[in-house]
Amino acid sequence: MNKVQTISRLLVICAGLGHAQAPGSILNVELINSTAYFRGYCSLADQGKNSAKLSRPTPAPAFPAGIGIADIVSVNGVPVRGTAIEMFNGTLLSSTMTSSRAIADYNASPAGAPWELTLLNLDGTLIGTLEISGQGTNAALRTPGAPSAIPGGSVYTVTGGTGPFFGVRGYFSPVQDPTSPERQTTDCEDPAYRRINADPGGNKRHPVLYLIPPDPPQIAVSAGFPAVFHADFTPVTGSKPAAPGEVLIAMATGLGPTRPGVDPGQPFPAFPENPLQLLNSPFEAMVNQKSAEVFNAVGWPGLVDTYRVDFRIPADASPGQVAVQFSVAWMAGPRVNIPVQ
């Protein structure tokens, strides 16, 4: 075999490996009533006692410290609940000699500002948390290697999380709304009035995340083929393809915590002696990149980290191969192809 043939085969193998892995997912988070409370303006006895709508005096302090709080209202257009917290405690950096700013090789406002996002289902149950570390910078400092959806002006790293975000990594940018950005006040204002004292525009932020889970949601493989079955549990194959409008059963992994829940590494309990373990996180099945109807998304009784998903092939699906993809907590897994008659 000559070198050209060897390189060609390697390229084919690498391309196959790339298609077998899912890229990271973009999460667009919507925040409202975003308010930053700057410390150092009130005595301890007077902190948080004033219900009036206050504002932070200018200029900004040389060593700003405080807390930012906002309400999470949606992720990728899906309504959710939750709270975003920013703990800023550092200084302002400047690449030029500027009074009250620390001299440095780049600009940052402020230099230290970790975040925590706590996301809830609409019924108030916890989806999970995301832990983020980093700082705001100037727009010219854009994170190398970040997807284009992550704008410049911030250098933040997703360091982990809980629930479906356990072990996740990625990027984060806490984008301000151009017309009604985060409101800045002092530690004298009563934070109980945060929503009442919001500006008419809503004090919005539009954070963007790029997340890569350690175990992405995906359809299992059986005998080299996607583990997708007809209602009688016979495999969907080229000789027995799915039909448009048919409800199929998929065996999947990486779908995260369930309710009522099991300990890590333990099998889902037997059914019907025990209730089915429902997925705790928002879940979506996509067929040819369009949302499909899902009937069940549960832990598979007797198996570990293995789930059953019942979903419908769209009635208008064309004959041939269709791409099926699962996502949990807005993080998508790799696509698999199944035949449709």
At 95, the amino acid letter reads S
Residue ending a domain, choose from 176, 192, 212? 212
What distance in Å separates the CA atoms of residue 255 and residue 71, rounded to the nearest whole number? 26
261 within domain boundaries: yes
Average of per-residue pLDDT across 149-172 = 93
Q: Are residues 60 and 197 in the same domain?
A: yes
17 within domain boundaries: no
Q: Quote the pLDDT of residue 136.
A: 80
Q: Quote the pLDDT of residue 130.
A: 98
Q: Are residues 171 and 230 in the same domain?
A: no
Note the pLDDT tens digit of each residue in 226-267.
Answer: 999 999 999 999 999 999 999 999 999 999 999 999 999 999
What distance in Å separates the CA atoms of residue 316 and residue 306, rounded to the nearest whole number? 30
Q: Contacts from 297-300 at CB under 8 Å and sequence distance 24+?
A: 297/255, 298/258, 298/268, 299/258, 299/262, 299/268, 300/251, 300/268
Please choose, from the candidates 298, 313, 325, 282, the residue with its C-alpha nearest in 3D space to the C-alpha of residue 76: 282
255 within domain boundaries: yes
Residue ending a domain, choose from 212, 236, 260? 212
Q: Are residues 280 and 204 in the same domain?
A: no
More confident residue, 85 or 9: 85
What distance in Å separates the CA atoms of residue 132 and residue 211, rounded to the nearest whole number? 11
134 within domain boundaries: yes
For 161-187, give one letter per residue: b (16+ CB within 10 A) or e.
Answer: bbbbbbebbbbbbbbbbeebbbbbbbb
Average of per-residue pLDDT across 285-303 = 96
Q: Are residues 163 and 63 in the same domain?
A: yes
Specify the number of domains making up the chain. 2
Contact assessment for residue 37 and residue 50, using Cβ atoms and an 8 Å cutoff: no
Q: Are residues 138 and 265 in the same domain?
A: no
Average of per-residue pLDDT across 96-122 = 91
Q: Are residues 38 and 73 in the same domain?
A: yes
Residue ending a domain, choose from 147, 177, 212? 212
Residue 274, domain CATH: 2.60.40.10
Q: Are residues 110 and 206 in the same domain?
A: yes
Query: Using omega within 30 degrees of 0 as the cis cutoff, is the peptide bond preceding 178 cis?
Result: no
Q: Are residues 131 and 225 in the same domain?
A: no
Q: Quote the pLDDT of residue 21.
A: 54
Q: Quote the pLDDT of residue 326.
A: 98
Q: Are residues 300 and 194 in the same domain?
A: no
Domain span at 324: 218-340
Q: How many residues does the chain have?
A: 341
4 within domain boundaries: no
311 within domain boundaries: yes
Q: Is the pLDDT of residue 128 over 90?
A: yes
Say how many Å lie between the first and final Cα of the chain, rounded: 40
Total-model pTM = 0.89
